[in-house]
Amino acid sequence: MKVAVVGKGGREHAIAWKLKNDGCDVFAIPGNPGIAQVAECIDIPMKAVAEWCRDRAIELLVIGPEAPLCEGLADEVRGQGIPVFGPGQDGAQLEGSKSFSKIFFQEIGLATAPFFVCHSSAEVAEALKELGDEVVVKADGLAAGKGVVVCSNHEQATEAAAAMFGGEYGPAGKIVVVEKRIRGREVSVLAITDGKSVSLLPSAEDHKAIFDGDEGPNTGGMGTVSPGWVQADFEQRVRRDFFEPTIAGLNARGIDYRGVLYAGFMIDADGKPWILEYNCRFGDPETQVILPRLTGHLGELLLAAAKGQLLDDTIAVSPRASVCVVLASGGYPESSTHDVLIEGVSEAEAEGAVIFHAGTKLEDGLRTAGGRVLGVMAMGDTVFDARTMAYESAAKISFEGKQLRTDIGARGANL
């Protein structure tokens, strides 16, 4: 099968790696130096992708990041008759517009925090009167993983909203959603859908804060473990109470959603799940631990979803655990040093890990080119074994300013 993958991060490296392991002929647009080891990398503008796929007789296009999905790339390529894994612009609004998704959750009866959609600071002040002290302020549009501020008092919320209206996140902050803060433990559940059926992927848990013990500012994700801490009955519960009503709600609105529904839940002290958000794509770095555990053919699974032919809910999963430790640049997440020489990748691979490239480039050796640089993924019979190997491998890689958390997969419930 000839498959093209759009994107250049660790998530896309994991997708391309799994497709290649399953025997696919893989192309990446534009890819990165790690992806280039398993795929042919093509550097073309997004507007040329549809025609390129048609000319190269691509049988499946997988779109990794949210931005091209929100800009309608899937619709354009489907217009050429090519199967695409990833929702159209209408479905991608679930991630691209927080107000769209919150109103949708409310309309279809999902458990979600009370909220207000605000267009001015005066509307925010009115919302705060209703929502209590602890709120979350969100920029409506895409803000590169930023644009969500958890506030413990009204002063912080007023300030956060004012910064959004003032242009801190560009057009993404023209509308602001203010919602009541739900306290609890977060968990992500990713599902594959063909617009009719839903197949849940194995659970994974991300570690968003930059420092051990969940201290410091949030990042795109400093490491993941699969399985996550949720139990099997939790997955059945969220399927029934969230994913199935979501598909019915999308269908009722004429949205044929083929791709990943990545749900972020908060589990409160009573064990009740509340939906915080949907993302319209695979998680990063969740993908780096989920895909290595799939024992079936990824290309066939994604093609079935793209064609509206997902057969049943059985995605074959290895009982082994996986852990991915992210190595980040100095200064991340506020800033990041670039062009720094990276050494020891082959030695780390020799320890048994798979190294997924996120922000790297080849320029007089392998060098850093982003905040999150590499993901070191290892598998084991237990989470403990997987994390031991991941950390032994990560220790072999060096670059100036290297940052990593030392507690990925150590939170318990898995060991």
| Binding positions for ligand GLY, rule: CB under 6 A | 206, 220-221, 279, 283-284, 286
HSE of 398, CA atoms in CB hemisphere, 13 A = 1
Nearest approach in angstroms of CB 349 to ligand GLY is 24
Q: Which is nearer to ligand GLY, 112 or 197 (CB)?
A: 112
Report the relative pairing of strands 223-226 and 205-206 from DSSP bridges.
Answer: antiparallel
Q: With CA atoms as reference, report the closest residue to 262 among 69, 26, 84.
A: 69
Q: Which is nearer to ligand GLY, 5 or 118 (CB)?
A: 5
Q: Which is nearer to ligand GLY, 12 or 286 (CB)?
A: 286
User: Helices marked H in 148-306 — which ranges?
Assistant: 154-165, 232-238, 244-252, 287-290, 298-306
Nearest approach in angstroms of CB 106 to ligand GLY is 23
Nearest approach in angstroms of CB 157 to ligand GLY is 23
Distance separating alpha carbons of residues 346 and 398, to the nearest angstrom? 12
223, 323 Cβ separation under 8 angstroms = yes
**In 241-371, which ranges are E strands?**
259-267, 273-279, 321-328, 354-357, 360-362, 366-368
Nearest approach in angstroms of CB 201 to ligand GLY is 13
Distance separating alpha carbons of residues 371 and 369, to the nearest angstrom? 7
Q: Which is nearer to ligand GLY, 9 or 173 (CB)?
A: 9
Nearest approach in angstroms of CB 287 to ligand GLY is 8
Q: Which is nearer to ligand GLY, 76 or 205 (CB)?
A: 205
Q: Which is nearer to ligand GLY, 281 or 387 (CB)?
A: 281
Nearest approach in angstroms of CB 190 to ligand GLY is 10
Nearest approach in angstroms of CB 271 to ligand GLY is 23
Give Cα 277 distance to the centre of its chain: 12
Q: Which conformational region is residue 331 in: left (phi greater than 0), alpha (psi within -120 to 50 degrees), or beta? A: left
Q: Which is nearer to ligand GLY, 12 or 284 (CB)?
A: 284
Q: With CA atoms as reference, report the closest residue to 225 among 212, 211, 207.
A: 207
- To 5 degrees, how large is the angle CA 40–CA 42–CA 43? 150
